[in-house]
Each structure stands twice: as C-alpha cells, then as structure tokens.
Amino acid sequence: MKNILLLAGTLLFSTTLFAQNVDKEPVRKIEITGTSEVEVDPDEFYLTISLKEYYNDEKNQKDKVTIDILEKQLAQSVQAAGLPKEALSIQGISGYQNSVGKKKNPAQFLESKQYQLKLSKLYNVDNLLSKVDPRGVTSTRISRVDYTKKDQLRKDNKIKALQNAREKAAYMVEALGGKLGEVLEIHEIEEGDIYPQYMAMPRMAMMKGEAAAADVADSDLEYQKVKFTSRIQVIFRIKQY
C-alpha cells in the first residue's frame, strides 16, 4: 500500500514539474516600433502687435499720442479688415520713461501695450494696420501658429503607426518562416509635434480673413507646415505555420 501511495505521489510530482516546465517555455515574440508622420498647413495664426505712446513734439515732450488713441486705431483697422472684435485681445502692458538728451525734462512715463490678433488666413500687414499711426507701432510678429483639427489628426496618426508596426512585423516574421500572432503589449511613445518658429518682422505680408475687405491683398508667401509624428511600440507573438 505504501509503495502504491509513493508511486502515485511520484507521478503527481512529475506531472506538476512537467507542467511548470511547459509554462516556463519562453514566448517567441517580436518587438516593433511603428511610426507615422504627417505635415499640414497651419490654419490659426497668432499675430503679436506692439504699440507705444509717443510725442508729436518729441523735443519738448509735448502733444502726446496716448495708448488709448492707438488702441482705437488698431481696433478700427481690425474691423475694416472684416475680422471679429473677439479676434483682438490684450497680451501685455509695459511702460518706460522718455527723455531727451542727458537731461530728463522731467522724464515722463510712456505706456506700451502688446496685442494678440487671431487670424486664419494670410493678410497684408500694411493694409491690416492702415489706420494705425506707424509712429506708434513698435513691432509685429507671428508669435505662434496652430492647427484646429490636431486632436483628430493625432488619433488617425496613432492608428497609422499601429498599422505600420503590424506591417513591418509581419514581413520580418514571415521572412524567417514564422507567422505573426496576437498582440501581447502596446506602448505609446511620446509624440513629437513640430511647430514652425517665426521671428519678429516688419510691416509686411501676414494674413487675410475669410471676410476681409477688398483692399486687403493676399500674400504669395508659403508658411512652414506643422509636423505631427506618432510612434507606437508593439509586441507580437510569433507562431509557427
């Protein structure tokens, strides 16, 4: 009886050990990174306009043109270009002391304001700022650009990256006599979005709105595209034919 129990115990132990060895058999797999890149034209432009107070009589520091006057002129220019009032907003306020020569006579405080103008098309800045006294304009520049449908674009780009990973894994595995199996793991790698950078620029070609006035001319300049890149790391099981 003891011998029978001992034999049964030995068989049970051997079966368990065999099962453990089977479970520990390494999984044949392939790890691939799929990528997808797409470039699109920006459809939102943010123009920064800097205005500053000044004196008509600079030498004697008299007859000051205030920031309120310049701001009103800017608002009129925006309206004349067919842009909505909401497109223009205040971005910052600063100031400085104005003096002539070595003597401060006495130095008077002059205000400066920065405005952000949201645009969707190319404008000609000379026309856009036609109602603003040029002596009150410090600079104009495109501070940033954007793409309004970027969320959906990123989603589509990730799907394409996954498809790219499967395509690459399939032909590599099949080339070695295997067959691509199910997905074991998916890891999203940080996305890389590249937006063009713009420097400060003089009063020259910028943007045109959808309902712009007839005297606002189109620009023939081409803007750099926005590049969206998605990278997805996928691990597939390898099966034998």
Residue 22 has pLDDT above 60, yes or no: no
User: Could you give the residue ranges of the DSSP H alpha helices within 41-88?
Assistant: 67-80
> Which band of pLDDT confidence, cut at 50, 70 and 90, is reported for residue 214?
very low
Cα–Cα distance measured from residue 47 to residue 208, given in angstroms and rounded to the nearest whole number: 12
Record: fold of 44-146 = Alpha-Beta Plaits (3.30.70)
Q: How many helices (H) and strands (E) does the chain have?
A: 4, 12
Say what the pLDDT of residue 99 is. Answer: 58
Tokens in use for 4? Answer: 């029978």
Say what the pLDDT of residue 204 is. Answer: 39
Cα–Cα distance measured from residue 111 to residue 6, given in angstroms and rounded to the nearest whole number: 99
Q: Which of 59-63, 155-159, 217-221 has the lowest mean pLDDT?
A: 217-221
User: For residue range 65-91, what is the model confidence (pLDDT) as tens digits?
Assistant: 999 999 999 999 999 888 899 999 999
Cα–Cα distance measured from residue 152 to residue 150, given in angstroms and rounded to the nearest whole number: 6
User: For residue range 185-209, what is the model confidence (pLDDT) as tens digits?
Assistant: 999 997 777 777 654 444 433 433 3
11: number of CA atoms within 13 Å, CB side? 6
Contact 93, 181 (CB under 8 A): no
Q: Which of 108-117, 120-129, 217-226 has the lowest mean pLDDT?
A: 217-226
How many other C-beta atoms can be found within 10 angstroms of the C-beta atom of residue 213? 15
